[in-house]
Structure 1
Amino acid sequence: MKKVLVTGGTGLVGKALQAIIKEQQPSDEEWFFAGSKDADLTNAAATQALFDKVKPTHVIHLAAMVGGLFHNMNNNLDFLRNNLLINDHVLQTAHEHGCHKVVSCLSTCIFPDKTTYPIDETMVHNGPPHSSNYGYSYAKRLIDVQNHAYYDKHGHLFTSVIPCNIFGPHDNYRPEGHVIPGMISRMYELRQQQPELPEEQKVFTVYGSGKPLRQFIYSLDLAKLMIWVLREYQSVEPIVLSVDEAAEVSIYEVAEAIAAAFKFKGQLICDTSKADGQHKKTASNAKLRALLPDFEFTDFKSAIQSSVLWYIENYAAARN
């Protein structure tokens, strides 16, 4: 019997994993989804207590201090220190408990700022990350370094996945958070404001030029792929979990899709006084496609529609 501990198990990806596992009902696996209330993973003793309680054989490590572009820009030291602590405590405690496998979640933002595209798994350490989020990026890169070190010294199968930008139900909808949930939150609030004003006269602001390009993966798709990695992927080398390159969209197109999902009749404008971050970070999923050629990703506009409907229906309980 596998006992799978999911750190960060009450967040966006954790909730998606819960939904997929509930659908599958695997008879040979027992899953425990740990949130921040279960343990402060920046504390070694608290991490140890969580592992003592769950006694996992496998770990999916999602827990991290995360934030959007502007939050990262202002708090690089905090992102570096807190994530270094979390990652070291989880991996070392998994080692001490004899866990068979740990799958950690990285991010495409860890790749070098100056690089060629598309980026792939071999390019993670080829140069400095973008200056806006170097604290988070270096902390996440070191998971890959640690995975190799644990394999070299102890033969452990500690590995990592590198998803593109994730969105879906149960996201964190702070306005300063990641781009899609931040936009959904702001558009929802805009539609509630000044009810006497015709919606055609309302203006929604897209932060930045709207031109940067991104790949987005629906959280339920990512959950299915992470479960596959846990069960089937047998390498310490990281693997990119991303939609195809052709699915890349601009930030302005994201705003248009969200507006369509809300049936928003107002105007979209771009505030170019706000930073854009990296113009693009196109990732290749060739490695994934070679191993899992028939996986079907959810259509982007359909996934946006589902995410907006979830937010509207769960507004009172959503993380704002």
Structure 2
Amino acid sequence: MSGESSIILVTGGSGLVGQAIKTLIEQEKQEGKNETWIFCGSKDGDLRDKQQTEALFEKHRPTHVIHLAAMVGGLFHNMAHNLDFFRENMAINDNVLAACHSRSVRKVVSCLSTCIFPDNTTYPIDETMVHNGPPHSSNYGYSYAKRMIDVLNRGYHEQHGRTFTSVIPCNVFGPRDNYSLQSSHVIPALVRRMDDAMRNGDATFTVLGSGKPLRQFIYSLDLAKLFLWVLRSYDSVEPIILSVDESDEVTISAVAEAIKEAYGYQGTLVYDTSKADGQYKKTASNRKLRSLYKDFTFTPFEEAIRDTVKWFRENREIART
């Protein structure tokens, strides 16, 4: 991207990752990059609708796109709405990439998820294994729709020479997440509920599930830095996993304990084992990332949890709850 002026459109720009990228861009302003950034959310156009998508791209005429927009939700929301997750995300992705092609967008970086990988697989998972078998049954609708971005990227590259690529982050968390109790992911759900417990003076705090599943979590500001690196420096259409190291994998119970510590909660954690755990693990290898970006340093997990809790406590009134 060096030398040329760029107009970068971020779909889903009001969400967790989009806002983290915006934070970094605002910090970069003094560096004099020849870039114009546009962060769009659902209020700017319904990307499920082809005409609204076309109108958004006609208005802004981007040269580059970071495609984050998606219908998302936590485990239980996915389990109840697999068809909706498939159809709505398929429509969003097809409309966005078609608009990018018709306007000769120079580069697109789309966001996938580690949940797209096969349920029955060997670990760690890597970029070659995306299509090796069915995803976990709990969120197959979302997973298959996300996989199809990779299919679209390959097709646009083979037929039209487009540089449309994708990244596969592990579980993301941080400021400006979705803290709704109905549709949030595990860390924001625990943060929100712990905040409630602190306010109510609850003596016990219930974690849904056994607490035993393992996950890799990436801080949103770390992921934002890696997104900018991919946009500016990674030119393959092959997907790339953006994840913390395998050694940084933690149990859900360790997550709950870190949030408890960040809040200074004095009560007892209990586990409701009648609730579903989802996949036990989905360990991802970041070997490809490490080979291309050797000196990247991730924020330590406990520090990132403290920063996230601090943000929520200070911004609960304006957070998505």
Which residue does the alignment assign to 1:6?
Answer: 10
Which residue does the alignment assign to 1:98?
Answer: 104
Q: Is 1:72 aligned to residue 73 of structure 2?
A: no
Which residue does the alignment assign to 1:152?
Answer: 158
Deviations 1:165-216 (A, max 9, x none): 00000000012310000000111111112x4xxx6xx111111000000000
Separation in 1, partners of 2:21, 2:9: 11
Which residue does the alignment assign to 2:205?
Answer: 204
| Residue identity matched to 2:7 | K
Q: Is 1:20 aligned to residue 24 of structure 2?
A: yes
Which residue does the alignment assign to 2:43?
Answer: 37
Which residue does the alignment assign to 1:112?
Answer: 118
**RMSD over equivalenced CA pairs, Å:** 0.7
Alignment of 1:53-64 (within 5 A): 53-64=59-70
Separation in 2, partners of 1:157, 1:98: 10
| Residue identity matched to 2:317 | A
Which residue does the alignment assign to 1:232?
Answer: 233
Normalising by the residue count of structure 2, what TM-score does the alignment of the two structures yield?
A: 0.97
Aligned pairs, how many? 314
Separation in 1, partners of 2:213, 2:313: 27
Separation in 1, partners of 2:264, 2:198: 10
Deviations 1:280-315 (A, max 9, x none): 000000000000011000000000000000000000
Q: Is 1:127 aligned to residue 133 of structure 2?
A: yes
Shift of 1:52: 0.7
Normalising by the residue count of structure 1, what TM-score does the alignment of the two structures yield?
A: 0.97
Shift of 1:27: 2.6
| Residue identity matched to 1:106 | L
Which of 186, 190, 196 does residue 197 from structure 2 map onto?
190
5+ residue gaps in structure 1?
Answer: none
Q: Is 1:294 aligned to residue 295 of structure 2?
A: yes
Separation in 2, partners of 1:122, 1:45: 35
Which residue does the alignment assign to 2:168?
Answer: 162
Which residue does the alignment assign to 1:264?
Answer: 265
Deviations 1:70-101 (A, max 9, x none): 00000000000000000000000000011000
Shift of 1:142: 0.1
5+ residue gaps in structure 2?
Answer: none
Separation in 2, partners of 1:77, 1:204: 33
Which residue does the alignment assign to 1:87?
Answer: 93
| Residue identity matched to 1:306 | D
Deviations 1:216-253 (A, max 9, x none): 00000000000000000010000000000000000000
Q: Is 1:180 aligned to residue 181 of structure 2?
A: no
Separation in 2, partners of 1:239, 1:109: 14
| Residue identity matched to 2:95 | H
Separation in 1, partners of 2:181, 2:207: 12
Separation in 2, partners of 1:164, 1:32: 25
Separation in 1, partners of 2:256, 2:167: 27
Cα pair 1:175 1:183 within 8 Å, conserved: no
Residue 255 of structure 1 aligns to a residue whose secondary structure is: helix
Moved over 2 A (4+): none
Separation in 2, partners of 1:312, 1:181: 12
Residue 37 of structure 1 aligns to a residue whose secondary structure is: helix
Separation in 1, partners of 2:208, 2:246: 24
Separation in 2, partners of 1:284, 1:70: 27
Which residue does the alignment assign to 2:306?
Answer: 305
Deviations 1:105-145 (A, max 9, x none): 00000000000000000000000000000000000000000
Which of 49, 55, 73 does residue 49 from structure 1 map onto?
55
Percent sequence identity is 64
